[in-house]
Structure formats: C-alpha cells, structure tokens
Chain A
Amino acid sequence: MTIQRVFLDSSLNSSEEIDEILSRLSVEPEPVADPCVVYDLINQADDPVGAAKSLLFITRNKGAVVRPCPGTSHYTCCDYTILHTGTFCTMDCAYCILQAYFHPPVLQYFAGLDQLKQPLTHAFSQNRIFRIGTGEYTDSLIWEPITPSPRFLVNTFAGQSNSLLELKTKTVNVDSLLNLDHNRKTVLAWSVNTPEVIQSEERGTTRLNARLKAARRCEAKGYPLAFHFDPLVLYDGCETAYAQVIHDIFSHVRPESIVWISIGSFRFMPSLKPIIENRFASSTLCYGEFILGLDNKMRYFKPLRIRLYRKLVDLIKEYAPSVRVYFCMEDPEVWEKTMGFFPGGKGELGHLLDRAAVSHCRLNPDLL
C-alpha cells in the first residue's frame, strides 16, 4: 500500500525526524490542527479500513508510551510490554484485529523520539526483565523504510541489559538495521504462515520465503530471531502445510538463533466477522468451526486447536529441542495436552520467556 496523503499534526515542531519522514515519502504534508479532520475523512470512505491504509497521520502519542499487554481474560498471557510507537498497518490481512479494534482505524506515526527516551530509561533502570515490542498495534517494520524509529530503538536498547526489544513484522524491511551495533538486545521476529494463507488472506505482505531469507540475513548479523505462528488457520491440508513451514524455517536459520516461537490460532472479536466478509469476499476464514470462547472471542473448537498444536509443537521440538515454544492466549488444558505442562503460576509463562531472553540476549541473569 502506498501512502497517498500525509497529515501533519500542526502542534508538532519541525524536527530532523519529521524532515526525514517527509523526504522519504515525497508527499506534500497537509497540516491539521484537529485530528477529527483525519478521522472524518476515513469514516466517510466507503471502506474506512482500506482508505486508512493510504493516509498517514504524523502526530504525537498522547497516551502511555510503555504499557503492559492487555492480554485477555481466562487465557494465559505472556506478560509482554508494549511500546506504543504507532498504530495500524499498510498491509492488509483479512484476519487482522486492528480492522475492528480502532474506531476509526488510523495509520499514525508517533513522532518525537525524545518522547520514547524517558519511559524507556525508566524501564531500563528497574530490577526486572522487560520483553518489549512495538508490534502489537502496528507492524514494527513497515516504518523502517520511512522513519528513523526502528534504528533509534535498536541503538537505544543496545546500551542496557535488562530489556529486550522485539520487532515483529511480515515485511523484509531490515536493510537499515543490519549494520547497527545491536548488542543482541533486539530480537527480529517474523509472523509466519503457510504460503496458501499468505496468498489468500494477507494482501501486501511478503512471501514466506522472502521473510525467511530476511531472517537469515539478520541471523548473519548476529540478531536473535523469533517466529510467531499466529494466527494458525485450519483448513484441509493445513497440518502438512504448517509442517512444511517449520521445515522451511529450520532450513534457513539455526535453532540456536531462535529465542522463542509462539503459537496461536485465529481468534477474533465477533465484530470482526462482518468486516472480513465485506472486505475479503472470497475469504473462507470466518467459516471455520468457531465457538465463543470464555473471553467472548471466537476461537476454533478446542479439540481442533489441540490437534494442530500437538503436531506443530512435536515437530518444532524435533528440529529444535531447546527452543522455547509457547502459546499466545491459551488455557491450561491446551498447555497440558500439547506441552505436557502448564505455566499456571502468576507470571510463570513470563518468567520462562524472560529466561530465554536472558540467555539469548545477554540480559542480566541476576534479574531473573
């Protein structure tokens, strides 16, 4: 998706950061004093979600920059920390929750790298491990070709020893990061899926092979890596297809380079369904065997989830017995039946991941 219009919050002072963004976009910015101008423009479009992908609003984050992942009730969360650097995405995935999450959806870049410094410095000064990511409300690396933010973050995290930065993406935008002195404090992570799902449900993302090649380039530069099988989509032949993805991952990178692999199946707020049906008319994504989960999100019927999880976990363990594999938002029964254990204590899953972070990213082990 190409950025066609850029709106600039008129309260922002000019800066090198903004100059860099504007020079890379080559689009004349339109100053706006009131963000409602942007919201109204998006809301008035026939397809607000689609329209929002080509309008960039450069503004300042008016809320918390560092915040705990909200997780979901009844299912086990990994106690992740979100670094809020922007919202929404230029890619267009049928299953993307951001289509229904923001009202309206707005592609926002939060300018002001100085604004990130203070909360990060505070996090870096604490006696605990942080796993911090920018990929919760946006794709971490859609910003790499047009903003200095990813570079700034890699450099900032390189100089401390209690926090790991995870940049999660479906792009291959890593060029400007390769030669940075990252000090292993940044994990480059890819959301992966089968070529069939990428082809049918992910518009504007890169092919699986391209993602894995990018991962290999980053591995060669010493970056720790991560992979996220999320969302798994159930369809005829999916077990074989996901097995092939696992095979492909380990054909490209060494198990020792992988900090963790997460697994989560497609789940969605019921309000997302009509959006998918309208925006992705040929998608069959919503017509799986979904039930209403305990957190009021639609999830695949549990035995179906468990069956696919078992296959994937067993196969990953064959390739990489020591890689930390975890579930994103699953319950004790799923953990027990697929992993043979459940990290049920308060913060236990987070602690398991902290240990993986410490060992791969050379964080301070005394903080465990």
Chain B
Amino acid sequence: MTGSNLLQSICLTDIRIHDTRFQITVEKKDLSALIRSIKDMGLICPPTVWACDGTYIPVSGFRRIQAVQSLSGTKHIPCRVMPENAEIECAMQAVADNAFSRELTAAEQVKAVQLLNRYMDAEQMAGQSLGIFNRPLNPGYISGLLAVSTLPKEAVGLLENGKLSLKPARRMAAYDKAFIEVFVKLFSRIKVSSGKQLDIITSFTEVCKKEQMAPGLFFNEHEFQTLLNLDTLDLGQKGDQVRQYLTRRRFPNLEQARQKARSHLGRLLSNGPFRFNLPENFESTVYGVSFDFTSLDDFKTRVRSLSSLADHPDLKGMLER
C-alpha cells in the first residue's frame, strides 16, 4: 500500500491494544485455537500497526496480538509498521485486510464505512471501494451504511448477532429516536428474517401513526408484552407471533375476513382432496377449485364428491361477502 510498511519486531508493551480505532471486526473471546496455532506453527501472518507518538496502534490482527500477548515469556511480536503520516492508509488497510480474506458481515461493513468516513465521504469511498472492500459499492449504499452507523450501539450489536439485517437497519435509521429505541428492544427479543423485520417495522410504525400512539406506549401494551414473554416460544416463533399480531392490528377487517375464510376452508377441505383458490384480499369475486385424479373412475368419484360440496354450509359461508 505504501511501500514503507516495514516488518519490525515490536515490544508488546509498546502496542496500545485497547486502542480499537481501526478495528472493524467483532471481538471474539475464545483465542485458544489461535494460540495453539501460533505455538505450533508460529505467527504466519504478522499484524499491522501504526507508529504513532512513540507507540503502536493496532491496524489489523487484533486477535493475533492478543494471542501472542497471552503466550508466557513472549515480549516481542513481528509487525508490519505503517509510518506516522499514513493514518488514512491504515484505515483503508484495516478494512481491506478483512475484506480480501472473507466477505464482511453487515456489522463490519457499517464499522468500516464509519472508520473510513473520518477521512473520506461516500463518493470518495465508492470510488475506491474495489480496492478497499474487494467489490464495487455505490455511494447510495455507502450512505445507507453511514446512516446505520448513527443508530445506537445496541442496534449495531443486533447486526452483529444476526437479529437485525442491513436493510431493516437502514429503514430504522430514518425514524426518530423513540421508534429506534423500541425497535432495538423488540429485535433483541425476537429473531426473524430480513423480510419479516421490514414487515414488523412497517406495521408497527403504521399502527402507531394510525392510532396516534407513542411507540413506547404501544410496545408496552399488555398484549404485546405477553407475546414477547411467552416462555414456550423460541425467538423465531415469537417473531412470527409478533408479526401476525401487528398484521391483525394493522388490518383488522381484512384479517377477520381471512380468519373466517380459513375456518370455512378447513372444514371444506376435510370433505375431499380439493384445492381452493380464494381471491386475493377478497377484491375479486373469482374463486377456484381444482383436484387431481388418476383414472376415469377416480375422476367420476371426485366430481361427485365436488358436486356434493355445493350444498355444504361452509361453501355458502365462504362465498358470503
């Protein structure tokens, strides 16, 4: 990168390991495998540090430095040393070092743009993204990541542990503080896919706006909290329950009609191997029914069975609108 990042043996006590300004990775507690590897094979890939004010600040290889520090009797570590005037290059290398060895997680991408944003804007980052991120990123995407970086650290924590995806996080960043606080609380207690997270954010927000209710008030409602406190459900099941509850609350009449149709349909389906297609959202009046058959006799039997459904009270009930 600079040509001057020389390999030097650095005294471990001269490295400011707690200075994490260049760290974009999530700290993993368990270093045992890495320690074992260094003991057996030595340090294969030296960390990079930045020479600053007579000491050294880690740029990449935080875990390697920690692993070597934990080895008894070891006082020095070989490091690539970036010169004092290469702070921007350090930031770029901190990102590139990870991005060129594996795909960055969502949380790492957020931390990476936050780090680089100290030195360059979204346009400049986009221009250099191929060399830093190992893939081209457009300014809009980078701006989205920067918006996510303004969320409270708990939200970035949710990104790290997979409870929040990038797209919903970007959506959250557009809301005011009261909503963000509630979403952080909510997503820390459920685990659903990105699409469902978006559904939940949209429905929750729209219920609050429609009912002119503060987000905290809605979140603390008894029914909502009861769902979140159900011990019998895992985080995924709770998420699904929350989503369904929000849909019922957002679309009460539509959901009631769906529920009624499902009840009728359940009883109708017990009368034969038929498939019913209901009009989407009950807007159209066109219903469909189909069945499979294996022979002429089978066909005749099913037609008779289908014909008998014409007088079934649940068919009538389903068609009453």
Contact = CB atoms under 8 A, between A and B. Distances in A.
A301 B210 contact: no
Contacts, number: 48
A252 B192 CA distance: 57
A1 interface: no
A289 B252 contact: yes
Given A284-B210, A287-B210, A294 B253 contact: no
B251 A289 contact: yes
B251 A301 contact: yes
A294 B210 CA distance: 25
Contacts of A304: 253
B281 A292 contact: yes
Nearest to B285: A333
A302 B281 CA distance: 9
Nearest to A293: B283
Contacts of A332: 285
Interface residues of B, number: 18
A361 to B, nearest CB: 36
A3 B42 CA distance: 76
Nearest to A290: B251
Interface string A161-179: 0000000000000000000
A299 B253 contact: no
Contacts of A293: 283
Nearest to B257: A303
A331 B286 CA distance: 12
* Residue from A286, A301, A303 whose CB has the most chain B CB atoms within 10 Å: A301
Majority secondary structure, A binding face: mixed
A301 B209 contact: no
B28 interface: no
B223 interface: no
Given A301-B253, A302-B282, A287 B209 contact: yes
Given A284-B212, A301-B282, A289 B253 contact: yes
B254 interface: yes
A291 to B, nearest CB: 4
A291 B283 contact: yes
A193 to B, nearest CB: 19
A284 to B, nearest CB: 6
A303 B321 contact: yes
Contacts of A331: 285
A102 to B, nearest CB: 24
Contact of B206 (A74, A287, A292, A333): A287
A333 B251 contact: no
Contacts of B283: 291-294, 299, 302
Contacts of A302: 281-283, 321
Interface string B228-255: 0000000000000000000000111110
A332 B285 CA distance: 9
Contacts of A301: 251, 253-254, 257, 281-282
A284 B257 CA distance: 23
B284 interface: yes
B253 A303 contact: yes
Nearest to A283: B209
A287 to B, nearest CB: 4
Nearest to B284: A294
A57 B70 CA distance: 74
A299 to B, nearest CB: 7
B287 to A, nearest CB: 13
B203 to A, nearest CB: 10
Nearest to B210: A287
Given A287-B207, A303-B253, A303-B282, 12 more contacts: A74-B284, A284-B210, A286-B206, A287-B210, A291-B254, A291-B282, A291-B283, A292-B280, A293-B283, A301-B254, A332-B285, A333-B285
Interface of B: 206-207, 209-210, 212, 250-254, 257, 280-285, 321
11 contacts: A287-B206, A287-B250, A288-B210, A291-B280, A299-B283, A301-B281, A302-B282, A302-B321, A303-B253, A332-B285, A333-B285
8 closest A-B pairs by beta carbon, nearest first, are A291-B281, A287-B210, A287-B206, A301-B254, A289-B251, A333-B285, A287-B209, A301-B253
